A and B are shown apart, each in its own frame.
Chain A
Amino acid sequence: MTESINFVSNFKKANVASITIFLLSICFIIFKGLNYGIDFKGGTLIELRTETGISASSIRSSLNSMNLGDVNVKKFGQDGDYLIKVEQKETNSNELIPKIKKKLIENLNAEVNFRRVENVGPKVSSELLESSIIAISLALAAMLFYIWIRFEWQFSVGSIIALFHDVVITLGIFSALSLEINLSIIAAVLTIVGYSMNDTVVIYDRIRENLFKYTKISISDVANISINETLTRTIITSVTTLLALVSIYILGGEILRGFSFAMILGVIIGTYSSIFVASPVLKFFKVSYKTLEKKDEKIVP
């Protein structure tokens, strides 16, 4: 361990920072709320391409005259591309889309290409929200269970705290920036759960191995050695994953932008949490080779 970085001495500072950001995220999620897309809120989404001269306000004004309720028009990608979101008013909106289309074609007096039209009813959207929450909870539970059978309960608690940390902060940032939460963001969050876990497991594996190797030194030092030993790998994998993600973010088009942004956030937060959240928990529980003795020594071949 020639040039080892002392991570452990920074655990306290990091923990204070983590807890602050975590609490801040919870405040954002509770008080500002999440900006649900139509997948979870219900409503109608229209992506259209017009001639470049058309402005968002002219689209907005022609829709406002229809008394649709909350209408949101924003630029989407290149010039003349817009995304329109209309809130769900009544349950039966089978007539709504053709009406909007007709109105826009008449009012804008231009060629309008409806590139994407989505409509999600209130029942379906609440079901989608419900199943997404179940999916994320189930993923967390499954991870917890897996770590519990592969390691000991202290590791399980540590990894789950790290996962919560990642998920809550990612959602908190989405709330703070008013970014839309839709189905693909949920997919991203689940992938983050997997990725963060992956990172944590690699460090945990090493910590456990080293606990048996260096029985004389404290858990803090074992953690520090282990984090340093796996550091190159942690960085390289984060870099290659981020390379892939950034290329999706920049080149993958508007539809994947939110998804790849969530993933980029998640990879950064997940990498951080494996080192600065998951490891201190082991220290907190005073894990040592003695607490592990009962179980599988055969892990170290």
Chain B
Amino acid sequence: MLNFSKINIFFIYLIFFLVSIFATLNLQNKNNLFIDKKVNLGLDLQGGSYLLLEINSDSLIEEKIQSKVIPIKKLLKKNNLNYSNFKINDRSLSLKIDDKEKFESLFFSKKDNLVNPYIDDYRSFELEYSSLENNFIEILFSKYGLLSINNSALKQSIEIVRRRIDDVGTKEPTILQRGEKRILVELPGLKDPERIKKLLGKTAKLNFRLVSDNSEFGVDSLISETGETLEISKRIVMSGDNLIDAQPSIQNQRNEPTVSFTLDRVGAQKFGRATTDNVGKRLAIVLDGKIISAPNINEPITSGSGMISGNFSFQEATDLALLLRSGALPTPLNVVEERTVGPDLGEDSIKSGVMSLIVGFVLVILFMLYKYKIFGIVANIALIANLLMLVGVLTILEATLTLPGIAGIILTVGMAVDANVLIFERIKEELKTEKSIIHAFDTGYSKAKITVLDANITTLIAAIILFAFGSGPVKGFAITLGIGIVTTLFTAYFLARHLTSIIVLRNNNKEIKI
């Protein structure tokens, strides 16, 4: 175990050198080297906000099942199928139908089925139905229909969340899908997430609907911004989907903040037609089921642009414009988890983390020197190399360093010497019975090898499980702990062993004290 070929020595120090040179990259201020890698600081160290958002697919399914009512009724009428007792439930539709077989063949036709499309990806129809007694049937979304609604809503939500956050202009946001219903948002450096939360909490579904007390589509009673109750037609003249831009502006006459918007071609046509046909009537601008304002249509608006006023402050106008620009969210988003760390706490955490690292490190080094003298130096060199390599690997992986991660490094410092302690103690025992010192060291190393491996693998298992199940800061701990074990094994079994061999071989079988 003490014989190293030149090639071995070369590779040991090459690996050490290459890995630890990465550690030094963290010292440079700007990216002036051609390798641009750094350890990232977690939100708990640099400050910032972590938000976990959840889409609410219940409301979406309700909406989607309602959108099936008219197509299904049309389908039934077109094919002369008699039905009665048509009812809209929360997540399903129920009706009584005479000719179920014919209905089934239409309902499950794969060709051009607009009512119940066939989803190729899942090999399933969007809807399914179940038979109840007395020829009643219940139509509801199939498992894969629900899945596809959910997935497209999630994808769309992520896109819109990204647009809204980009628009606010925070630095380097992270926006990721988490599971089937959630979106993770990390906003480094953000001190107060309230504005972002407000912006993400609104679906921002904008509708233009006529104020009218009789409409063939039915009416909603909504309360306007001035407090009067208005009957609003359910028919949507135009929706926010047709907006291509929205900007806050100041209306000069009254110095009032407003939002001016621009429509796409289709929207401009729709809007033009509606305003031409309904001059003199009032057009309600409805956002998320609330009336923003309901101005009179004084003249046809055919230019494809318009303005929304509604007693806004300038900030409100700015936010509304941002929401309209980014488009509507398919469902409301709930913040199910939120963690915000102020920058000063982050700084304090770094300070105390580094302080305890230095103190822990120095204590361990002194203790090892006291215990093992010259081999203490070997163990300590291995420890320093270990730390360098640990930081180096973290840099190569561009891992995120969290406060528990720093704790993991300190713990590694404490536990890393274990490998060398095991070996040195073993050698001590061998020295008692073995006459040849070189031989004693040799057997010491090889006998301790299995124990060292066993002992470290158990901790590695714990670290891997922590990494798989932990979240955020805890993951950071698992990373440093796990990498620490690998670098520990390397430094103890290659670097320290080589250093030991130099001492032992130079000493030429004279007595050595550990």
- Write the residues of chain A forming the contact surface with B, with a CB cutoff of 8 angstroms: 47, 49, 91-92, 94, 97-98, 113-121, 123-124, 128, 131-132, 134-135, 138-139, 142-143, 146, 150, 183-184, 186-187, 190-191, 193-195, 197-199, 201-202, 205-206, 229-230, 232-233, 236-237, 239-245, 247-248, 250-253, 255-256, 259-260, 263, 299, 301
Contact = CB atoms under 8 A, between A and B. Distances in A.
Given A190-B466, A205-B451, A252-B353, A244 B474 contact: no
Given A92-B334, A116-B342, A139 B356 contact: no
A184 B473 contact: yes
B334 A135 contact: no
Contacts of A131: 469
Contacts of A299: 450
A273 to B, nearest CB: 14
Nearest to A198: B455
Given A132-B469, A184-B474, A243-B414, A253 B337 contact: no
Interface stretch (B69-77, B360-368, B387-395): B360-368
B349 interface: yes
B462 A139 contact: yes
Contacts of A143: 458, 461-462
Contact of B367 (A124, A199, A239): A239
B336 A195 contact: no
Could you say which of B340, B462, B473 has the most chain A C-beta atoms within 10 Å of its C-beta? B462
17 contacts: A115-B341, A115-B344, A128-B471, A132-B469, A139-B462, A183-B473, A186-B470, A186-B474, A240-B414, A240-B421, A242-B414, A248-B360, A251-B352, A252-B352, A252-B356, A256-B403, A263-B411
A202 B360 contact: no
Given A91-B334, A97-B194, 9 more contacts: A123-B54, A131-B469, A138-B469, A243-B414, A244-B364, A248-B407, A252-B356, A252-B410, A299-B450
A139 B458 CA distance: 9
A183 B425 contact: no
Contacts, number: 221
A187 B410 CA distance: 15
Contact of A245 (B335, B367, B411): B411
B450 A205 contact: yes
Contacts of A97: 194, 338
B447 interface: yes
B477 A116 contact: no
B209 to A, nearest CB: 28
Interface in B338-390: 338-342, 344-345, 348-349, 352-353, 355-357, 359-361, 363-364, 367-368, 371
